Structure 1
Amino acid sequence: MNLLAKKHFYQASVCYKRADYSEAIEYYLAGLSIEPECVEAYADLAKSYEMLACWSQALRAINQAFQLRPDDPTVLRRKNRIVEESSVYSISASTIPSVSGDSRYFDLNVSPEISDMSCDLVQKISGVLEQTCTFVGQLLHCFPSDPVKVYLEQNRLAKSAHNYFDTFPDWAPAYYDGDIRIRCCNYSMSGLGVLQTLIRHEWTHMIVDLITGGKCPAWIDEGLAMSIARQMFSFEMEYLRVANGNGVMLKPQQLNGSFSQIDSRLRRLAYYQSHAILLDLIDSFGFSSICVFLGLIGSGCQLEDAIKKVFGKTTIQIFSDWQKKIGMD
């Protein structure tokens, strides 16, 4: 390989590791201008674009790698993931209403650090919030009585304990702590789909907190937030099948408390497992059953009593039955 190209690719990998994806892209492109048939560089370029929610560029780059080496398992796996993610996260800005003025449900605050964000984009993010209030509120039959503070902040951390699945762009963690906080370093129209997913997820946490008084077990709270935010990806289900085959599925008692307390090596499994179990409950008993369960918890019913009343079995049986289904897929 040309030494200058090799140097560019090395610098690109350094930039990627420190979450400087824009600079990584520049180095990958510089190297590829010298070594235009480097499959690994195209695949890594695609991943950099993926982290910035630049879906069309990510698809072009990974397709180039695929054309050069269609039998490469890493390229094929990455291509399938990007195709699936882009189908979920690519939304047209024209489908989001531009909202100006105050909302009865939220109070949007933009950090001074990102005060140069365009007015159009701020209005679109307000539109995503307005749509989310209606969408989640109608699903769970609950709306906040007072406007919820939502903060858009500059993200200075490459990783976050609140970043709820490893393939999610590092630049877009969010969390709910009484207020909703979204920390990014790449606000753009192309990232609206990712922001919509984040906002739906955290808004669901807020509504569940209102309904249950903060008493909902984490596996239901997180699983429901993920189920409302987006569909489950096929690569996530495959991850669960492998984990199940290896006998490392988490027990209910491990998933009742905050996931931030779970070993970081198991956190992805915790989120995927909770997501899949909630989807299975919704499929088996209907979404209304989840609303009934939340209402029982909010009225003071004990966890196991509420689960038995709504689903006709214990938490352990719910987990066991779901694992059997995973094993049969």
Structure 2
Amino acid sequence: MVEREPSKLGVAGSNPVSRSRSFHRRTATLRCAQGISGREVARLCRVVLSLLFIIIIIYTATLLAAQDFATHNQRGVDLSAQGRHREAIAELEKALALAPAHPVVRRNLAHAHGNVASSLLQERAFRDAAAEYQAAIDLYSEEPRFHMGLGVALLGLREADRAVESLRWARNLNPKEGQVYRLLGEAYFQRGDMREAVGAWQEGLRIRPGDRDLERLIAQAEGERKVDEEYRRRPGHHFNLRYVGEVREEIGREILQLLERAYEEVGYNLNHFPRQEVEVVIYSDADFQRIMGLPGWVHGAFDERGGRIRIPVRGIKEATDLRGLLYHEYTHVVVREVTGGRIPTWLNEGLAQIEQRTPMDGAVESVRQLAARGKLPSLQNLKDPFVGLTGPEASVVYAVSYAATKYLVERWGLWDIQRLLRRLGEGVSFDVALKETTRLTLADFEREWVTSFGRGE
């Protein structure tokens, strides 16, 4: 019997039973390892498929959102081109919600707000215009036009400090734009800073040499500086009176007393009492002409730009009714504060003449004669400032303004007039405010008023 070599039967030093057990353990371990690997692979496959599915969903949603964003943006651009700026804003806001950081959408939306603001500015809706310009700046602050428009709106609101800040931004963004220096000077002027105002206008002249408007403004500011330095001053409770030396002390005292009475009486009639002190200046005739440049028939003016009542000495000397002159000009102060300047001139001047309480029978009769001859000027043509008129022409338009306003007040009452003025100050157009008050359009009101004249009422 041949004996096998131990090396052929197993590991040296081991027996056949031990070798067999070791083999089975290795085989079981291999099978176990193969089974776990399969489950992990399956699970990994499921995870991968889930991730791919999620990626596909996200990609699809992103693609659809991008398509929606582009659609809303294009609609907004098209609506802006058609002048439908508020509708454009609605579409562009949808685009912005889908792409909040997209620079093109932000610029488009900013310009839409800027276009709305520009329209509001033309309507003298200064507060609403300022809000729209600020919205435009918040979206895209590098456009100088937005800062300049905001400055104009703030000037209209008489917020001079904020106007200066906004107009400085506009100047820094576009230092070659001459108009911004004119407006910046206006802001300084409104703030009472004549030196800075002159400096801004002189800088504008370097950019636009020979600009007569800027030259006029510089001369006016220099005149105001002279007034500040040379005129006497008499402070009151609601007014600050300054007057040239040729006005006697007792006249200055009387003027201030009349103005304080106007504050109470006009304020009661129009239901508004200004909080800020009103500046009143009695000029020498030469200074008045140099600063204001108004025709000789003008005996006084409320300068909305500077917020001052300005009266030449001849206006005091020639006035048959000093009280009426002061009440007239102070009425313009109150109307300006209530309406923000959003009022047709015929109504503004009509209210001022009613408040001055000077007998106007001759004026009413002249209007009646014009109506009888069919020569009455339309109120629609009397909405803009009465500038460039001769004395006789001014007499006609002032008489028509008085007669039409008198009919309005007597027919509907002061309470309705107060409400009409407040609505104008809220930004409502005059046509809408008039219809709310009288249920008439301007054309219908004018027809009714002229008819009443024909009946001798």
Tell me if both proteins adopt one fold, taking TM over 0.5 as the criterion. yes
2:299–2:315 contact (8 Å) kept in structure 1: no
2:319–2:325 contact (8 Å) kept in structure 1: no
* Alignment match, 2:321: 194
Kindly tell me: are residues 124 and 243 of structure 1, through their superposed partners in 2, closer, same or farther at Cα, counting changes over 3 Å? same
Shift of 1:174: 0.1
2:300–2:325 contact (8 Å) kept in structure 1: yes
Among 300, 307, 310, the alignment partner of 1:174 is 300
Give the number of equivalent residue pairs: 216
For 1:161 and 1:275, how far apart are their aligned partners in 2?
A: 22
For 2:308 and 2:418, how far apart are their aligned partners in 1?
A: 23
Among 420, 425, 428, the alignment partner of 1:301 is 428
The CA deviation string for residues 15-55 of structure 1, in whole angstroms up to 9 with x for no partner, is xxxxxxxxxxxxxxxxxxxxxxxxxxxxxxxxxxxxxxxxx
Among 277, 282, 285, the alignment partner of 1:147 is 277
Shift of 1:267: 2.5
Q: Is it true that 1:102 corresponds to 2:235 in the alignment?
A: yes
Kindly tell me: are residues 185 and 251 of structure 1, through their superposed partners in 2, closer, same or farther at Cα, counting changes over 3 Å? closer
Q: Is it true that 1:127 corresponds to 2:254 in the alignment?
A: no
* Alignment match, 1:73: none
What is the SS of the residue equivalent to 2:341? coil
Kindly tell me: are residues 313 and 227 of structure 1, through their superposed partners in 2, closer, same or farther at Cα, counting changes over 3 Å? same
Per the normalisation by structure 1, the TM-score is 0.61
What is the SS of the residue equivalent to 1:273? helix
The CA deviation string for residues 161-189 of structure 1, in whole angstroms up to 9 with x for no partner, is 567xxxxxx5x70001121011123756x
1:162–1:175 contact (8 Å) kept in structure 2: no
Kindly tell me: are residues 229 and 119 of structure 1, through their superposed partners in 2, closer, same or farther at Cα, counting changes over 3 Å? same
Q: Which has the higher contact order (CA 8 A, sep 6+)?
A: 1
* Alignment match, 1:118: 248
For 2:409 and 2:391, how far apart are their aligned partners in 1?
A: 28
Among 312, 323, 326, the alignment partner of 1:183 is 312
* Alignment match, 1:57: none
Per residue, is there more helix in 1 or in 2? 2
Runs of 4+ in structure 1 off by over 4 angstroms are 160-163, 261-265
Shift of 1:135: 1.0
For 1:251 and 1:220, how far apart are their aligned partners in 2?
A: 13
* Alignment match, 2:378: 251
Identity of aligned residues (%): 25
1:174–1:180 contact (8 Å) kept in structure 2: yes
The CA deviation string for residues 126-170 of structure 1, in whole angstroms up to 9 with x for no partner, is 11111111111111121222111100112256xx8567xxxxxx5
* Alignment match, 2:17: none
Query: In the TM superposition, what are the counterparts of 1:4-83 in structure 2 within 5 Å?
Result: none
1:211–1:294 contact (8 Å) kept in structure 2: yes
2:342–2:424 contact (8 Å) kept in structure 1: yes
For 1:266 and 1:192, how far apart are their aligned partners in 2?
A: 20
2:300–2:315 contact (8 Å) kept in structure 1: no
> Which deviates further from its counterpart, 118-127 or 288-297?
118-127
What stretches of structure 1 of length at least 5 have no aligned partner? 1-99, 164-169
For 1:184 and 1:314, how far apart are their aligned partners in 2?
A: 42
Shift of 1:262: 5.5
* Alignment match, 1:279: 406
Among 337, 349, 355, the alignment partner of 1:222 is 349
Query: In the TM superposition, what are the counterparts of 1:290-329 in structure 2 within 5 Å?
Result: 290-329=417-456
For 1:229 and 1:312, how far apart are their aligned partners in 2?
A: 28
The CA deviation string for residues 56-95 of structure 1, in whole angstroms up to 9 with x for no partner, is xxxxxxxxxxxxxxxxxxxxxxxxxxxxxxxxxxxxxxxx
Kindly tell me: are residues 147 and 227 of structure 1, through their superposed partners in 2, closer, same or farther at Cα, counting changes over 3 Å? same
What is the SS of the residue equivalent to 1:250? coil
For 1:322 and 1:293, how far apart are their aligned partners in 2?
A: 18
Shift of 1:205: 0.7
Shift of 1:124: 1.1
What is the SS of the residue equivalent to 1:136? helix
Q: Which structure has the larger Rg over C-alpha atoms?
A: 2
Q: Is it true that 1:241 corresponds to 2:362 in the alignment?
A: no
* Alignment match, 2:267: 137
Shift of 1:258: 0.7
Shift of 1:197: 1.0
The CA deviation string for residues 266-293 of structure 1, in whole angstroms up to 9 with x for no partner, is 3322111110111111111111111000
The CA deviation string for residues 233-289 of structure 1, in whole angstroms up to 9 with x for no partner, is 222122112111221111122111111156765332211111011111111111111
* Alignment match, 1:210: 337
For 1:264 and 1:123, how far apart are their aligned partners in 2?
A: 31
Kindly tell me: are residues 280 and 121 of structure 1, through their superposed partners in 2, closer, same or farther at Cα, counting changes over 3 Å? same
Kindly tell me: are residues 162 and 318 of structure 1, through their superposed partners in 2, closer, same or farther at Cα, counting changes over 3 Å? farther
